[in-house]
């Protein structure tokens, strides 16, 4: 998959800055999913790159922001999902991430549930992770 092919499929990533991040995630995507059927491999590569770029954009500083230590630290904080909340006597409980043993894919794919691209990729990965009995 080339950068042109990727941005033709997902035009929202055209002009993504910094450009090195876009090319790096496309290269990483191209190195994966060799065990998939060719048409599924292309889809998986697109979804992987889109997922990674979306995750990067969540923590990247906005354009024109001065990169202070505080801004960088704030951007690097993982978003926490609220598992429960209570209004009277204020109480908030944050959800914890899945343990590495409960994730069937490699640990660098543990955040797939964080984006819609990742959820689509996760469903595709599950198709290929099933073991079939062949007599």
Q: Is residue 135 part of a domain?
A: no
Convert the pLDDT of each residue in 67-83 to its tens digit. Answer: 566 655 555 555 556 66
22 and 16 Cβ atoms separated by less than 8 Å: yes
| 33 backbone dihedrals φ, ψ, rounded to 5° | 65, 30
Considering its fold, how many domains does the chain have in total?
A: 1
26 and 3 Cβ atoms separated by less than 8 Å: yes
Res 70: pLDDT? 63
CA distance 134 to 60: 47
Q: Is residue 65 part of a domain?
A: yes
Convert the pLDDT of each residue in 19-29 to its tens digit. Answer: 999 999 999 99
Q: What is the mean pLDDT of residues 23-40?
A: 91
Q: Is residue 134 part of a domain?
A: no
- Residue 103 DSSP SS3: coil
pTM for the model:
0.68
Res 52: pLDDT? 92
> How would residue 127 be classed by pLDDT, with cut points 50, 70 and 90?
confident
Beta bridge partners of 84: 93
Q: Is residue 120 part of a domain?
A: yes
- CA angle, 53 as apex, 74 and 70 as ends, to 5°? 10
Higher pLDDT among residues 86 and 76, named by residue: 86
The whole-chain average pLDDT of the chain stands at: 78
């Amino acid at each position: 998959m080339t950068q042109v092919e990727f941005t033709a499929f997902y035009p929202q990533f055209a002009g993504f800055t910094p450009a090195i991040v876009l090319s790096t995630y496309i290269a990483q995507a191209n190195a994966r999913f060799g065990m998939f059927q060719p048409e599924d491999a292309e889809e998986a590569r697109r979804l992987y790159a889109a997922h990674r770029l979306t995750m990067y954009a969540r923590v990247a500083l906005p354009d024109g922001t001065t990169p202070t230590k505080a801004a960088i630290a704030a951007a690097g904080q993982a978003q926490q999902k609220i598992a429960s909340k209570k209004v009277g006597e204020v109480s908030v409980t944050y959800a914890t991430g899945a343990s590495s043993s409960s994730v069937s894919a490699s640990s660098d794919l543990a955040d797939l549930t964080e984006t819609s691209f990742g959820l689509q990729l996760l469903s595709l990965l599950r198709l290929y992770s099933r073991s079939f009995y062949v007599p």
